[in-house]
Chains A and B, each alone.
Chain A
Amino acid sequence: MAEVRGCDIPEDVYYWPEKHVWARPADDGTVTVGVTDVAQHLAHSIISAMPKGAGKKVKRGRSLGTIESGKWVGPVTAPVTGEVIEPNPLLASDPGVINRDPYGDGWYVRMQPDDWAGESAELVTGTDGVAAYEAFLEAEGITCRE
């Protein structure tokens, strides 16, 4: 896993850096989505997470559900268009798992994307993805060491 400005940015997922979300495609065509280490760091202690339920269709750029920290409720942005097939059931009882393990047990939803091949081209991944995320963090002056 790459460390960029103190943030964990693994190379094996796809990012939308401005929205601080990641997507990981599976062999069965589904995509797991979550928020990045940067997002959980900026949010501090996440006290609630409410993903949309299975069956909900969400367009890329729209909200997949909400996260709350410090009295602020914000959306988790869909990196691709598709249908939620499973919200992470762990989040209802333990939303802090997003802070502890944002790329693992703290995933947000699993989706069935409409057009992964097309829309994933809008995301960044691999070493180029890490570099693009790093450039964004640098431009915004964000580190995970604060």
Chain B
Amino acid sequence: MELILELAAQTVQMFGVLVIAPFLLGITRKVKARLLRRIGPPMFQPYRDLWKLMHKEAVLAHNASWLYRVAPYCVFATTWVAAALVPTYSTGLIFSWSADLIAIVALLATGRFALALAGMDVGTAFGGIGSSREMMIASLAEPAMLLVVFTVALVAGTTQLSTIAAAFTEAHVGLRVSLGLALFAFVFVGIAENARIPIDNPATHLELTMVHEAMVLEYSGRHLAMIEAAAALKLTLYFSLLVCLFAPFGMATTDRSIAALALGGAAYLAKIALLAALLPIGETAVAKMRVFRYPIFLGGAFAAAALAVFLLFVSRGL
């Protein structure tokens, strides 16, 4: 019985993130449209888009290989598993020990690896430019992300996300310079990894500056649906991670009653909805960057996170 409940809690988490992910994208797009004085699509539009894409025939180039067809599933599966392992409404889910924060970052890297390869599969200039730039961004963002992981791991004394969240909920961590720097770096990395302005523009097409969209340019139909769903899941994952690491209050930790879990769920939904609304506000305030200014942006994140780690090595109290 215990086991069934545990499994149910894990399943709720796994399918929960999948269900809400497009909605978050919907909120983001709506807020952005309103900020630009447009009415914008309804918030459920991303679901309809996905459904429509899934029912369209997939058009493959003549020379597309098996890798091209497998990659979307790979990307989706890795992102989904990673998202399912980030604690959202409750800590200590049954499979949370199977991967720690480093493994979650690496799982996202696996997905990116598959997508970057798929971008090169057909052999077009656009696919190549997208893959090359995506890997460049990743090679700057991932180390910054790992240093953020180091920071929180050093503060909490563990890389296990559930344990970190539980430790941070118990509030004796307090405000710390290192965590502030880590948050700063994390936001920068999240923006870059999710291809948001100022690094990339998810709404553009046919622009030489596009990165992510260039990489998936040849995709259509159900494959594109998978990739879009994975992108939405990735955004959800980063929101969940932000909430879990830097604002875990409300999350069910030791008390596993239905009420506590429901409270955790409500708190989680409110927090990520807020983040989904904040993101476009930030995005409308800045302009898209030129490609070779990314290193400055991401180097800033890397430096901030490295500083945080150094502070922690020097003194556990900072």
Verify that A and B bind, or say they do not. no
Chain A residues with a Cβ under 8 A of chain B = none
Chain B residues with a Cβ under 8 A of chain A = none
